[in-house]
Structure 1
Amino acid sequence: MSERGRDERLIWVDAVRGVGIVAVVAAHVWTRGAMRDAIYSFHMPLFFILSGYLSAPRPPVVFARRHIPAMMRPYALFLLAVLAGDYCAEAAKGGRAIFHDWPADIAPVLIGGSELRGPFTIFWFVPCLLFARIAFNAALARWPDVRGRAWAVAAPVALALAYGLGAIIDWSPLGLLSSPMAFALLWAGALFRRMGWHPVIAALLIPLSLCGLFLFPTINMKAGDYGWPILSIIGAVATCVLLMRACERLGHRAAWLVPLGQAAMVIMYLHVAIIHHLTPYMGKGALFAVALALPFAIDRLIRRSPLASRWLL
């Protein structure tokens, strides 16, 4: 029963990641309209909230030493791959790669975050998640009860810092501008796990989610734009919690999303480049399918090799 429960838990977690990555790709294909706005109200917060839900305190130094190479090694390798792909694609059609002025362009590539645009625009996410997780784990190791008084101070301070920095700064090296908000979302995910579920919670979350999807201004975490203060984030949290709960209740019926969830990080790294270079040649539907299917196939190939998996996953 323990193994069965673990398998079912992994199914719904990967199913949530699958929903999230499909939403991310769709939002980068359909860049205007009501669907795009609805997706932008929750799609990036979903990954932070899910990460917070799965968190458990670890010794801070051990956690950092493990996760920095584990997350930044694939980041660097996929960044190099997209750089090479951009250069080859632009050379084939007589264009000029976004980063072409070497060695001057080494600095913006290393700075990352807001310095990366076009096919590289999504690369802010992983370092932002990494540094937020390191900070959150250090706080969680010190204050394990996320419902305690220390967190009643820490979470509002993180929110205030997020809104303050977002209002006055546009520059975001390695996506760090968004890390305070990511920290607060990690806490929200951890809090939801420890609160449990009750029908009353659904009654409260559904109207908040609908407001977030269709009424409140959207969220652009990379730019430090979080919509209406507090309200847009509450709407995002409500939508994310409801999605997580729905996938949990579906269990094995959501298993078809699991492979996409397992490939989510490779899809995250590569889909924008595919969309960037193929947009002039494809309709939206075909572009969406290719932007999901091609990185998914690359993920499957990587998993065939233990060495490639170690370095790229």
Structure 2
Amino acid sequence: MRILGIAAVVAGHVGAWSGPVVRETVYTWHVPLFFFLSGYLWSEGRSVIEEMTKRAKTLLLPYIVWLVPVGLWWLSQTDVVRGADLRKLMLGGSNIGGTLAAFWFVTALFFAVVALRAIQRFPDWLQWTLAVIALLVTVRAPELVARVPLAAGVGLACIVFVLAGREFKRHRLRIRRPLMTAFVILGGCATLILTGWSTYLDLKYARLGTPVITVLVAIGICASLLLIAEHAIPLLGPRVNKELSTLASGGFMVVLTHAVVLVELTKLGLAPWLVFAGALAGPWLLALVILRTGLAPVLLGVPVRKEPEPARELVGSARM
């Protein structure tokens, strides 16, 4: 699911594809998917301090480390480096774009999960009420919410997607025909989009599309894709599953660095599909190399992945 979401993010940033088709096709779900998954994989009982510590290591540390080289590259693209440009880098969120287009997502996710952890002791109905209030404020004043430094305002608006993922996990086993359910929901969401009832959302700028409807469509698509993945991925076998897991572990670097590759490849006048492939494959291949080095926790936000040792002891014990 993370791999799919990252590929969709990169596709959405390819300049030649930035028309209404791509916006309507991927923008509605590609970023909400990551918030939804955070809720689906939610660990109960963790304290706010524990959550902040964990997310600081997995989100903020790579964010800060990559912000320096990518930010310097971004500043080098301007004719004159102004103090305002440096200020934008520090403010983050919607203040920075171009090659830093996806950086806002990292801090927004951090604030969303930490805020939810802070209110987890409240009853579910109160958590949902607070999330809906954050949504209503965003609908009424999107520009104000988008201007909050480090996308903290957008992060609070996205709590609803995290809650939706958590709630979906709680009721997942009640869905007896997951594949059919997924396609029915996808069909309904597609109908709402094609008829214009639901317009795309752009979370970076706190634009939530058609009030209520687009948020529900985004949640519906995320839930449907998850049901399809749960059915399809196990059929590929344990070896493919292991490789997909490894690939997903390096995905964070792709999110933070792909825009640099996009810009440079676009300058060469390459076809859009080649730009997309290069921006996706280049950072990901490098991330897979880093994954097996001591730099993995700093650059990727994950532990160093080591090759499994030969199971000699297991073989010996089996013979005994």
Q: Same fold (TM over 0.5)?
A: yes
Q: Is 174-183 or 116-125 further displaced after alignment?
A: 174-183
Counterpart-to-counterpart distance in 1, 2:193 and 2:27? 8
1:138 aligns with 2:114: no
Q: What is the CA distance between 1:27 and its match in structure 2?
A: 1.2
Equivalence for 2:101 = 121
- Alpha-carbon contact 1:25-1:288 (below 8 Å) kept: yes
Between the aligned partners of 1:98 and 1:270, the Cα distance in structure 2 is: 22
When structure 1 is superposed on structure 2, of 203-212 and 75-84 the one drifting more is 203-212
TM-score (ref. length: structure 1)? 0.83
Secondary structure of 2:78 counterpart:
coil
Q: Which of 19, 23, 42 does residue 29 from structure 2 map onto?
A: 42
What is the aligned partner in structure 2 of residue 150 from structure 1? 126
Alignment match, 1:262: 249
**Structure 2: how far apart are the matches of 1:201 and 1:286?**
35
| Cα pair distance change 1:189/1:182, threshold 3 Å | same
Q: Residue 167 of structure 2 aligns to which amino acid in structure 1?
A: L
Larger Rg: 2
Cα deviation for residue 56 of structure 1 reads 1.7
Residue pairs, 1:1-313, within 5 angstroms: 16-29=1-14, 30-57=17-44, 58-86=46-74, 96-97=77-78, 100-101=81-82, 105-140=85-120, 142-143=121-122, 148-166=124-142, 168-196=144-172, 197-199=175-177, 202=182, 205-211=185-191, 213-214=193-194, 215=196, 216-252=198-234, 253=236, 255=241, 257-281=244-268, 282-306=270-294, 308-313=295-300
Query: What SS is found at the alignment partner of 2:158?
Result: helix
- Deviations 1:181-222 (CA, angstroms, capped at 9, x unpaired): 211110000010001124485476234321354331101000
Q: Note the residue ranges of structure 2 that are not aligned, 5 or more in a row.
A: 301-320
Q: Secondary structure at the match of 2:208?
A: coil
Which letter maps to 2:89? Answer: V
1:171 is displaced (CA, Å) by: 1.6
State the alpha-carbon separation in 1 of the partners of residues 131 and 94 from structure 2.
25
The amino acid that maps onto 1:309 is A
Deviation at 1:177, TM superposition (A): 2.9
- Distance in 2 separating the partners of 1:228 and 1:162: 12
SS at match of 2:94: helix
Larger helix share, 1 or 2: 1
SS of the residue 2:256 aligns to? helix
Give yes or no for contact 1:86–1:98 (8 Å, CA) kept in 2.
no
With over 3 angstroms needed to count, the CA separation of the structure-2 counterparts of 1:20 and 1:84, relative to structure 1, is same
Quick one: which amino acid aligns to residue 97 of structure 1? T
CA contact (8 A) 1:166 1:224 kept: yes
Which runs of no fewer than 5 residues in structure 1 stay unpaired?
A: 1-15, 91-95
* Code of the aligned partner of 2:233: G
Q: Give, in whole Å, the separation in 2 of the partners of 1:174 and 1:78.
A: 15
Contact 1:166-1:177 at 8 Å conserved across structures: no
Q: Is the 8 A contact 2:131 2:157 kept in 1?
A: no
Find the aligned partners of 1:198 and 1:31 in 2 and give their Cα distance.
Answer: 38
- Given that 2:115 and 2:156 are in contact with CA atoms closer than 8 Å, whether structure 1 keeps it comes out as no
Tell me if structure 2 keeps the 8 A contact 1:131–1:179.
Answer: yes
CA contact (8 A) 2:100 2:259 kept: yes
How many percent of aligned residue pairs carry the same amino acid? 26
RMSD: 2.3
Q: Which moved more, 1:105-114 or 1:50-59?
A: 105-114
Cα distance 1:229–1:98, how it changes in 2: closer, same or farther (>3 A)? farther
Report deviation, 1:301.
1.9
Higher relative contact order (CA 8 A, sep 6+): 1
Which is further off, 173-182 or 119-128? 173-182
Aligned to 2:317: none
Residues 294 and 23 of structure 1, relative CA distance in 2, 3 Å threshold: same
Moved more, 130-139 or 164-173: 164-173
- Would you say how many aligned residue pairs link Structure 1 and Structure 2? 285
Contact 1:18 1:259 in 2 (8 A): no
Deviations, residues 201-251 of structure 1 (Å, cap 9, x unaligned): 547623432135433110100000010001011111111111011111113
